[in-house]
Structure 1
Amino acid sequence: MVKLLHSEACSSIWFNLAGDVRIGDTTIPGGVVVLPVAKVAAQVSLAPESQLAGVRFQPAIGYGLIRQHFDRPTVLTRDPAHLPGLLALFSSLKICHDNVTRVRTLQSWASNNFRLTQLIPGALQQALDCMKDDTEPGALSRHLDISQRHVERLFKHWMEMTPKQYQRILRVKRAINYIREHASVNLAEVAHQFGFSDQAHMTREFRAIAGTTPGKV
């Protein structure tokens, strides 16, 4: 089975329970594996009999919980201080017999261990909310009580990217969702609606970030 893992500026924790799992040409070892912030899409391949579970975090949340960035899929050998019980969770997932039980096990662990209140700086959360409302990256400081330079530092420290790069990812994600909901839509109109300079620009951004083209979504 091959699936496209979209970017979305998210990070993930995977539990490779059994079998051969790959991201592109990289083999994912068995165990608790932290994935880096997803800036571009990747092909995920699962061989027959593979068993994979995981949690995908919204932008900046993964770093807020683990307090460390990773540049490649990395096996955890001990629980991060801010996220206890991961290795025990892996053992529990290993003995689950079906996906429904695995999802329930993940939900139970999350409800007992996630403390998301004020997990990331308020200014960063406000900046992310502003960008969801289509605020341009260069105008964020007008909506926040901090300088544009400080906004840039927050994005770099917590998300390993600039506000502009996050805007590109967000724009492609929105366009993908829209095209999926409106199968017969005119792509030139989509490009204009979501702020691309033209359809060719949208196609280039899709290839660079989503690993596909608008016509193949």
Structure 2
Amino acid sequence: MKMLLQQRDGFDLRIYFPQGKLTKYVQGIWVANYDSSNILLRHLKANASNSIVYCLSGSVLLGGEERSAGVYLCPTASQAQKIAFYPNTQVVGICFQPGGMAQLSPLAQPNEITPAQSTESEKHDTWDALLRLSCYSQNPQALLTLLYRKLLPLCELAQGFDPVLIKALSRCKQPLLLQNIVRELPIGQRQLARLFKQSLGITAKQYQRITRVNNTIDYLKKAPKCSLTQLAYDFGYSDQAHMTREFKYFTHHTPSYYCQEMA
């Protein structure tokens, strides 16, 4: 299990990247501890994914509202989101792969941040147990261990992604027109729209835009001194201004911000 560690001004963030069976459905599990006396503000970039947030102590700003201790189901991150940590806050989160939460959860895609509730069904007791884990441990690292134990059987029970969706997701990562992608699939554009809405909670076009921005960021991290004008052209934006608008919408930051971050 790989881990990314960030520590600054009383904020301790550890992101764990799963290995094996979990990687198909889960991007990562993060653990945040904040013990400063000030409010810490961050912006999360869109990643076309759902998440579950366990607020163990303190409170966190999600969806424009302060959320106290509890478990929250979050809708697909389709644009930059503001998150704020209040003093003495401990939070654990699961970030699913695009469409991953829909494969594991018996619930419909949430349209807004929703306090987690039991489905009260024996058929879905493994999912319910996942949402109740914070009742058994208020220690972030202990909760992390419990999450892994509950996520593994969920992944083993999952039927798996629709093969059409897998192909569509792969093709949408490339700079192709949507109508050209549909020609390669055994379903029409309306059926594809329903499939994306049910599985990801967003449209195929939104997924394309998010993926393009994130691919551009990955390139910037490798080549922070590149020409932004040429970069916009290479990644299919109409011009640099168009690329900047997309970056601000999906990440809150400009391309130059990522250049400076890697310098």
TM-score, normalisation: structure 1: 0.88
Cα drift, residue 116 of structure 1: 6.8
For the aligned residue pairs, the C-alpha RMSD in angstroms reads 2.1
- Check the 8 A contact 2:50/2:101 in 1, yes or no: yes
1:101: how far off?
A: 3.8
- Does 2:133 correspond to 1:89? yes
Higher strand share: 2
Equivalent position of 1:40 in the other structure: 79
Does the residue aligned with 2:181 lie in a helix, a strand or coil? helix
Amino acid of the residue matched to residue 34 of structure 1? L
Give the letter aligned to residue 193 of structure 1. Answer: D
Residue of structure 2 in register with 1:16 after alignment:
55
**1:55 paired to 2:94:** yes
Kindly report which structure 2 residues correspond to 1:121-140, keeping only aligned pairs within 5 A, or say none. 121-140=162-181
For the 8 Å contact 2:59–2:85, the answer to whether it is kept is yes
Which runs of structure 2 are paired with 1:1-217 in the superposition (5 Å)?
1-23=40-62, 25-66=64-105, 67-79=107-119, 81=124, 83-94=127-138, 96=139, 99-115=140-156, 117-217=158-258
* Consecutive aligned runs of 4 or more in structure 1 exceeding 6 Å deviation: none
Structure 1 portions without partners, runs of 5+:
none
Once the two structures are TM-superposed, the CA of residue 142 in structure 1 deviates from its matched residue by 2.2
Question: Could you list the runs of 5+ residues in structure 2 that have no partner in the other structure?
Answer: 1-39, 259-263
SS of residue in 2 equivalent to 1:37 = coil
Q: Which amino acid counterpart does residue 70 of structure 1 have in structure 2?
A: P
Identity %: 31
Tell me: CA distance 1:115–1:2, structure 2 relative to 1, closer, same or farther (3 Å).
Answer: farther
SS at match of 1:212: coil
Deviation at 1:156, TM superposition (A): 2.4
Given the superposition, is the C-alpha separation of residues 78 and 84 from structure 1 closer, same or farther in structure 2, using an over 3 Å criterion?
Answer: closer
1:25/1:149 CA distance change after superposition, 3 Å:
closer
**Relative to structure 1, is the Cα distance of residues 24 and 72 closer, same or farther in structure 2, using a 3 angstrom cutoff?**
closer
Counterpart AA for 2:115: V
- Please give the alpha-carbon distance, in whole angstroms, between the structure 2 residues aligned to 1:72 and 1:206: 23
> Which shifted more, 9-18 or 185-194?
185-194
Which SS does the other structure have where 1:151 is aligned? helix
Kindly tell me the number of residue pairs found equivalent between the two proteins: 214
Do the aligned partners of 1:140 and 1:148 also contact (CA within 8 Å) in 2? no
